[in-house]
Structure 1
Amino acid sequence: MTARAYSEKDQAKTTHFGFEKVRVDEKARRIAEVFDTVSPKYDFMNDVISFGTHRAVKWYAIKESNIKPGSKVLDIAAGTGDLTILISKRVGAHGSVIHSDINDQMLQAGRARLAKADIPDNVQFIQADAEDLKFEESTFDAVTIGYGIRNFTNKMQALREILRVLKPGGQLTIVEFSKPTSKPLQMMTDAYSSLWPTFGKIFVGNGKPYRYLVDSIKMHPDQETFKSMMQDAGYSHVNYENLMGGIAALHIGLKPQA
């Protein structure tokens, strides 16, 4: 797979909302509308669409995250808290997790869910924009993003901000939809994902957010391109692992030692 050139100039004034080219401020508003709509049944629909496989993928991502007992971790685009719950248990009572999301509805859904979870009292909730993080430099041992970065308006800016707040040697772990590695699997995935808006209409009463989901996956950079983006942002030891034949990919990079 060949990496395509990626330029921030493409995102300077306009960006993509699925296949549509829109103003940056317009994308922010429309992304908020998407997650305001899906938040009440977010977990249910994730299970329906993925047949529950997203849970195994997230578990594996945290297993590979290099998060240790006592670590201080930032979970970005944390949503309803799947990764936060796993991280909380891994860091234990002497560690801490910041559960962050730019969308208030998703943040509140995560807060409500974690209040019922059997986890240590080590989670803080903060509404935060990954492209403008309000944390000091070198704050976190690790940062995670689960199925969120494809929604960011300026991915390079977010990657640089995350690098800034990581401690030297700290690891960024991203799991995201990606590009299947075989043509037959790509065709099967395309055929199945074309049904998602119908599922959304049936179960949520609105298929449009799931049309955006399908389009956003197709617009997200492929594995090699995203690897190059992480390297260009300043990460070292950048690598990725295809999961489920490339339907998802696990991306890892470290902040270089000072």
Structure 2
Amino acid sequence: MQSTRKLLNLARITLSRTAATASEQTTHFGYQTVKESEKEQKVHQVFEQVAQSYDTMNDAMSLGIHRVWKDIFIERLGPTHGMRLLDMAGGTGDISFRYLKYLEKQPNHQGRKSHVTISDINQHMLNVGEERARQQGLTAERLSNSSIDWQCADAEKLPFQSDSFTAYTIAFGIRNCTHVDKVLSEAYRVLQPGGRFMCLEFSHLTNETMQWLYDQYSFQVIPPMGQLLAGQWQAYQYLVESIRRFPRQDQFKSMIENAGFVHATYENLTFGVVSIHSGFKL
């Protein structure tokens, strides 16, 4: 009798676990379908693997054009003294460093201090960024008009108070998040009224022939290049696939509007290889 009860209890536990597993939502990791609870760890592993070679690979994959895209992104943001920026998925600091250098060149007649919080879910990426900041002299001690801090955080659950920042940037990071809608909602929450959301992300080309050529380059060249330069084929295979799974420009614009942002716009660069998305919190 006791043995029968044990078997029944074991059967109930097994059925309960099976039901829980079956009910768990799935999402995409590149072209793979995975449980939502698994994606964050998988993405974390990818960027942990590529952190040290990330900038080298960006130069190789884009033939250096990513630097031009980021320069244009900062020009469109148009930083001003007194601004408080949250740079999410800021990792190695590319966007924040441009922001700081842009401000250092601008006259500051009223002596207003600007600030940037560089945040990333991956501490390895932040470590690389902090070292780069020291090498470039972009430290709190050396900056005359700005200050900087680093924060490991999840874009879907930000540890910042509401209405804290005047601008929020995220470059080549939002497509790696499990719930893009939650990222947008959190961005809206932490921005002050009048604050601006800006996103730079790989997108979809507007010409079918060029898209086909771009696909051939992406799938046939980038993963082998990742293996050659960084010893990471699978990580760069994922990065290529994740671009194809990201919403098209109009779809992402609608998601930004659904999060509450107004005056949402996008601008294609290099025929739509990347797009700059913008929206305001009123």
TM-score range relative to shorter protein? over 0.9
Match of 1:6 in 2: none
Rounded Cα–Cα distance in structure 1 between residues aligned with 2:241 and 2:139: 38
How many angstroms apart in 2 are the aligned matches of 1:32 and 1:45?
Answer: 18
- Identify the structure with bigger relative contact order (alpha carbons < 8 Å, sequence gap 6+): 1
Answer with 1 or 2: which has the greater Rg. Answer: 2
Structure 2 length normalisation: TM-score?
0.85
- Does the aligned pair in 2 maintain the 1:71–1:91 contact within 8 Å? no
Q: Per the alignment, in what secondary structure is the counterpart of residue 79 of structure 1?
A: coil
Percent identity reads 40
| Stretch deviating more after TM superposition (90-99 or 167-176) | 90-99
Unaligned runs of 5+ in 1: 1-11
Query: In proportion to residue count, which structure has more helix?
Result: 2
Q: 1:124 to 1:99 in 2, by over 3 A?
A: same
Deviation at 1:118, TM superposition (A): 3.6
Residue in 2 aligned with 1:221? 247
Distance 1:120 1:240 in 2: 33
Amino acid at match of 1:190: D
Kindly report which structure 2 residues correspond to 1:121-132, keeping only aligned pairs within 5 A, or say none.
Answer: 121=140, 122-132=147-157
Displacement over 6 Å in runs of 4+? none
Number of aligned positions between the proteins = 245
Task: After TM superposition, give the deviation of residue 37 of structure 1 in Å.
Answer: 0.7
1:248 and 2:274 aligned:
yes
SS in 2 for 1:85: helix
Offset at residue 13 of structure 1 (A): 2.0
**TM-score, length basis structure 1:** 0.92
Looking at structure 2, the residues matched to 169 and 66 of structure 1 have their Cα atoms a distance apart, in angstroms, of 15
Q: How does 1:137-148 map to 2 (within 5 A)?
A: 137-148=162-173
Q: Which residue matches 1:28?
A: 40
Deviates more, 1:90-99 or 1:180-189: 90-99
1:111 to 130, 142, 146: 130
Structure 1: which amino acid aligns with 2:261?
Y
User: 5 Å matches for 1:141-160?
Assistant: 141-160=166-185
2:68 is matched with 56
RMSD (Å), alpha carbons: 1.2
Q: Contact between 2:133 and 2:139, CA under 8 Å: does it hold in 1?
A: no
Q: Matched residue of 1:234: which SS? A: coil
1:77–1:101 contact (8 Å) kept in structure 2: yes
